[in-house]
């Protein structure tokens, strides 16, 4: 306790109690995005894990995600690229995406994390982006196949990396100059557009290398 006041009176203030008034607005939209992205990524990892287990238990099993010649999961799941670390890649998603969901929920609940935590989180999403970029290249240039659940993973990993990195730069969790922080704050509002541009780049690469768009249309016509 600390006494405050002058000759006309004494006021008491408990200096041990935390200040409940927030110094900045809680990033609700950011938290909701993390929850949604984590949920979609977890769905993709779960579905791929189930398909992999069913394939291992029955060699004649045909995954439900096999749409046609170009669009399917079997080639990816059976390839060396599908088990880079000695176990199916989707198992990584089963471990990683719940962490993203938990962080989003914690932010909604008012949690605040130390700088080292945000930097560690950023390292994790950067590693995920690099891994996904390599898998995209393998699918387009080596395996010649597009896995639906894999593509969902790609689709959520890209904006997750952008959101976490730009948020950390804007908030100063990653040491940067004021100019960089200002640019990050400006670019943060354009994440949807930047994400669409990244999707477009992947589509163009797939079209140039695989003639993907007509082949996908044929697969979808045969499916329906």
Q: pLDDT at position 102, please?
A: 98
Query: What DSSP designation does 140 have?
Result: I
Q: Tell me the C-alpha distance between 65 and 219, whole Å.
A: 12
Q: Say whether pTM exceeds 0.85.
A: yes
Per-residue pLDDT reduced to its tens digit, 44-91: 999 999 999 999 999 889 999 999 889 999 999 999 999 999 999 999
Segment 200-212 shows an average pLDDT of 96
Q: What is the mean pLDDT of residues 3-24?
A: 44
If one counts every other C-beta atom within 10 angstroms of the C-beta of residue 160, the result is 25
Q: What is the pLDDT of residue 22?
A: 43
Rounded CA gap, 104 and 142, in Å? 36
Res. 24 pLDDT band, cuts 50 70 90: low
pLDDT of residue 222: 80
Cross-strand bridge partners of residue 58: none
163, 33 Cβ separation under 8 angstroms: yes
- Position 10 scores a pLDDT of 40
Answer whether 219's CB lies under 8 Å from 70's CB: yes
pLDDT of 13 strictly over 80:
no
Q: Residue 212: exposed, middle, or buried by beta-carbon count in 10 A (0-12, 13-18, 19+)?
A: buried
């Amino acid at each position: 306790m600390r006494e405050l006041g002058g000759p006309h009176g004494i006021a008491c203030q408990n200096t041990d109690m935390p200040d409940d008034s927030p110094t900045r607005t809680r990033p609700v939209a950011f938290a909701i995005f993390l929850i949604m992205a984590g949920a979609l990524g977890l769905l993709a990892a779960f579905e791929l894990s189930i398909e992999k287990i069913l394939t291992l238990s029955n060699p004649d099993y045909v995954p439900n995600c096999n749409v046609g010649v170009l669009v399917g999961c079997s080639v990816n799941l059976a390839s060396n690229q599908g088990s880079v670390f000695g176990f199916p890649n989707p198992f990584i998603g089963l471990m990683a995406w719940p962490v993203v969901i938990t962080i989003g929920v914690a932010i909604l609940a008012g949690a605040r994390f130390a700088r080292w935590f945000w930097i560690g989180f950023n390292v994790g999403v950067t590693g995920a982006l690099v891994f996904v970029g390599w898998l995209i290249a393998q699918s387009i240039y080596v395996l010649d196949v597009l896995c639906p659940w894999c593509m969902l993973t790609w689709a959520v990993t890209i904006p997750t990396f952008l959101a976490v990195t730009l948020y950390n730069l804007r908030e100063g969790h990653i040491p940067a100059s004021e100019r960089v922080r200002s640019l990050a704050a400006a670019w943060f509002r354009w994440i949807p557009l930047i994400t669409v541009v990244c999707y477009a780049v992947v589509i163009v690469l797939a079209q140039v290398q695989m003639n993907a768009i007509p082949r996908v249309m044929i697969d979808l016509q045969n499916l329906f």
